[in-house]
Chains A and B, each alone.
Chain A
Amino acid sequence: MANPMRIRAAAKEGVTEVRVLMSHVMETGQRKDSSGAAIPAHFITELVAKHNDKVVLNAQFGPSVSTNPYLAFKFNGGAKGDKVTVSWTDNKGESRTDEVQVA
């Protein structure tokens, strides 16, 4: 079970800024463990963010996005109390969805 994301969404002067921290190893598949065995790739491949029911960002990640990925973006509109939902899926089919209210 994937750990929760930390999402912050704040509306200011008609623009909502969203900042997301995801808990994920983002393993490249190119590293070896101490016994020399390859560590299998394990990374987030896709992410979608929604403001209420509208998609506000689609992203695709490769393994060179850093461990515990950070993402910040802005969209027009959004008011205090609106819902912002972020979902990711990784290359092993694991996924996580978290939601916050716009502050």
Chain B
Amino acid sequence: MNHQRRDTLKASGSLGVLGLLAAAGLIKPELAQAAWNKGAFEAHKMDEALAAIGAGKPADSTDIQITAPDIAENGAVVPVGVVSNIPNTESIAIMIEKNPAMLAATFEIPAGTIADVQTRVKMGQTSDVYAVVKADGKFYTTKKEVKVTLGGCGG
């Protein structure tokens, strides 16, 4: 395998292209996998996870909004939306402080895409949910607490 080419693709940030190529059967899935930020997704401490996405110590920002319920009926599915009003937002990461691995998802926002994403995450317990935004090469963050109950008795 041509490692140099693989590095070049990685460096150019063509994660999705690799995924697509793999989906199309043009490259082996392992190559697409190489783009997945294993270090960040397997980090068990906030500062490690932040470091792995290159964020260091992000600055608090009031220009990021997290949409999530104050209380969730079941931690298996917790809706989380993030809107960044910071100009030139390049990426958004969602982190759950009290999960065994904090990082849930990262989104790259190309020019023309609005910095407004929604997904659903698992939460092991009540926790702060963090949105970490990269804009113009700098990192910003905000957080919101989501309470998680386990609810009724299995039925």
A and B form one complex: yes
Contact of A46 among B15, B99, B113 (CB under 8 A): B15
Interface centre among B19, B24, B100, B114 (most CB of A within 10 A): B19
Q: A64 to B101, Cβ gap below 8 A? A: yes
Q: How far is the CA of A77 from the CA of B110 in the complex (A)?
A: 13
Tell me the smallest distance from the CB of B26 to a CB of chain A, in Å: 11
Main secondary structure of the interface of A (DSSP, over half): strand
Given contacts A57-B113, A60-B41, A87-B19, 4 further A-B contacts (CB under 8 A): A28-B122, A56-B110, A66-B122, A69-B120
**A residues apposed to B, CB below 8 Å:** 15, 28, 30, 45-48, 50, 54-67, 69-77, 87-89, 91-97
Q: B113 to A74, Cβ gap below 8 A? A: yes
Residues of A within 8 A of B113 (CB): 56-57, 73-76
Contact of A62 among B19, B41, B117 (CB under 8 A): B41
With A57-B107, A69-B119, A93-B30 as given contacts, are A76 and B19 in contact (CB-CB < 8 Å)? Answer: no
Stretch at the interface among B31-39, B135-143, B145-153: B31-39
With A66-B77, A93-B29 as given contacts, are A71 and B118 in contact (CB-CB < 8 Å)? Answer: yes
Residues of A within 8 A of B105 (CB): 59-62, 65
Contact of A55 among B17, B24, B96 (CB under 8 A): B17
Q: 1/0 contact trace for B40-55 toward A, CB 8 Å?
A: 0100000000000000
Q: A58 to B121, Cβ gap below 8 A? A: no
Q: How far is the CA of A92 from the CA of B28 in the complex (A)?
A: 11
Main secondary structure of the interface of B (DSSP, over half): mixed
Q: A76 to B116, Cβ gap below 8 A? A: no
Tell me the smallest distance from the CB of B119 to a CB of chain A, in Å: 5
Residues of B within 8 A of A89 (CB): 19, 22-23, 29, 32-33
Q: B108 to A57, Cβ gap below 8 A? A: yes
Q: B76 to A67, Cβ gap below 8 A? A: yes
| Nearest neighbor of A75 in chain B, beta-carbon distance | B113
Q: Which 5 A-B pairs have the closest CB atoms?
A: A93-B29, A48-B16, A58-B16, A58-B108, A62-B41
